[in-house]
Structure 1
Amino acid sequence: MELKKNPRANVGRNSSLYFAVGLNVMLLLTYLGLEHKTYESEATKIDILMLTEQLEEEIPITTINIPPPPPPKQVVTQAITIVEDVEEVEETFIESTEIGQDDIIEERVVSVEEVEVEEVEEDIEVPFAVIEQVPKFPGCTGSNDELRACFQRKMNEHLQKHFRYPQSAAELNIQGRVFVFFKIDKFGNVNGIKSRGPDKLLETEAERIISLLPKMQPGKQRNKPVGVPYSIPINFKLQGQ
């Protein structure tokens, strides 16, 4: 005999509907749970309390002392008195200095007074090689060629007599050739001494030797004393080098 079930007693007949409804309800609860926002009540109360304290704080009233404006300047009025002219001033008439066609030009003879012309002596220099009469070194005599040779001989004797090697230059092993330039002026004096060499110590010693030259008879060009420039080399060499 087959048993027949009551369709009302069948529990699984609406199971799919209940499952769908339950799933939707869970999704809705999950969405509301994620979107729900909560705030800490203590932080909110503190913020409100601090805000009320700031609002209730009294702001002191400050007054600005503005200095009063300066008083207006007093206007000084001067009384103007009109004084009548007592003395009459004569007007002066200035004649024109322009010359017209009808004016006659007066002829005058202008005399030029004699003007004294001062002769200025020029400091002429003639090289030693071309001068007509060379400067005379003390003790030299003879013709111009003999005086020239004697001058050079006396110059070498003077260098050997007064030559002295600088001690500091010898210790530093400084040696070389120094060219000395000087001039025998129209009075026979030696001046304008200049030197050029490898070291200042040697240049100073060469200038010292030339400064000891004696006074000479000046050289002459067309029988007039002139300055004569002259140059001479001085060798500084240590013995055994």
Structure 2
Amino acid sequence: MKKLALVLFVLASTVSFAQEGVSMKRTTTLTISEVPPTWPGCDGSINQKNNCFRQKLANHVVRGFKFPAGHKSGTRVVVDMIINTKGRPEIKGMEGGSKELQAEIKRKIMSMPDVKPGHSGGTPEVRKYKLPFTF
């Protein structure tokens, strides 16, 4: 009876404490995957979450974008940013375009919804992004 209780405890603890991005194979190899930030409503595999995040961010920036006066079509702006451990964006730098265009891109990125931060083995981590936008 004690062995049965021990087996049930071990099974219950491994199921209830399992973390996304952590797996253990029969060869006792522990694999910890880096899980990207997750936009609300995105799910699936790690690759699907990463693609969904990029798509949702691009759609968010484009929707309601206010072009500054004198904007020239084909202008490229590259944004260096991170998603911090709280799921909020922080812009580290921008290249290209006018100051007004950069300010509008920053406004749109900073207004994005809170996302689930990226993590590795359950520990939230900062994720860096370099995003090119062509307007």
Q: Give the Å deviation of 1:229.
A: 1.1
Structure 1 segment 70-219 matched on structure 2, within 5 A? 132-167=34-69, 169-170=70-71, 173=72, 176-219=75-118
**Alpha-carbon distance between aligned partners in 2 of 1:215 and 1:193, rounded to the nearest angstrom:** 18
Matched, 1:223 2:122: yes
3-state SS, counterpart of residue 162 of structure 1: coil
3-state SS, counterpart of residue 195 of structure 1: strand
TM-score under structure 2 length normalisation: 0.67
Q: Give aligned-pair identity as a percent.
A: 30
Q: Which amino acid aligns with 1:227?
A: V
Structure 1 residues 174, 200: closer, same or farther in 2, change over 3 A? farther
**Alpha-carbon distance between aligned partners in 2 of 1:165 and 1:175, rounded to the nearest angstrom:** 12
- Count of paired positions: 103
**Alpha-carbon distance between aligned partners in 2 of 1:135 and 1:202, rounded to the nearest angstrom:** 26
Query: Which of the two has greater strand per residue?
Result: 2
Which gives a bigger RCO, structure 1 or 2 (Cα 8 Å, sep 6+)? Answer: 2
TM-score under structure 1 length normalisation: 0.39
Structure 1 residues 162, 213: closer, same or farther in 2, change over 3 A? same
Structure 1 residues 152, 174: closer, same or farther in 2, change over 3 A? closer
**Alpha-carbon distance between aligned partners in 2 of 1:209 and 1:143, rounded to the nearest angstrom:** 27
| Corresponding residue for residue 26 of structure 2 | none
**Alpha-carbon distance between aligned partners in 1 of 2:45 and 2:73, rounded to the nearest angstrom:** 41
Segments of structure 1 that go 5 or more residues without pairing to the other structure are 1-130, 237-241
Q: Give the Å deviation of 1:179.
A: 0.6
Q: Which amino acid aligns with 2:67?
A: Y
1:193–1:210: 8 Å Cα contact kept in structure 2? Answer: no
| Corresponding residue for residue 14 of structure 2 | none
Structure 1 residues 202, 214: closer, same or farther in 2, change over 3 A? same
Q: Give the Å deviation of 1:175.
A: 5.6
Q: Give the Å deviation of 1:192.
A: 3.3
Extract structure 1 runs of 4+ deviating beyond 3 A. Answer: none
Please tell me whether Structure 1 or Structure 2 has the larger radius of gyration of its CA atoms: 1
| Corresponding residue for residue 14 of structure 1 | none
1:194–1:207: 8 Å Cα contact kept in structure 2? Answer: no
**Alpha-carbon distance between aligned partners in 2 of 1:164 and 1:220, rounded to the nearest angstrom:** 34
2:119–2:125: 8 Å Cα contact kept in structure 1? Answer: yes
RMSD: 1.9
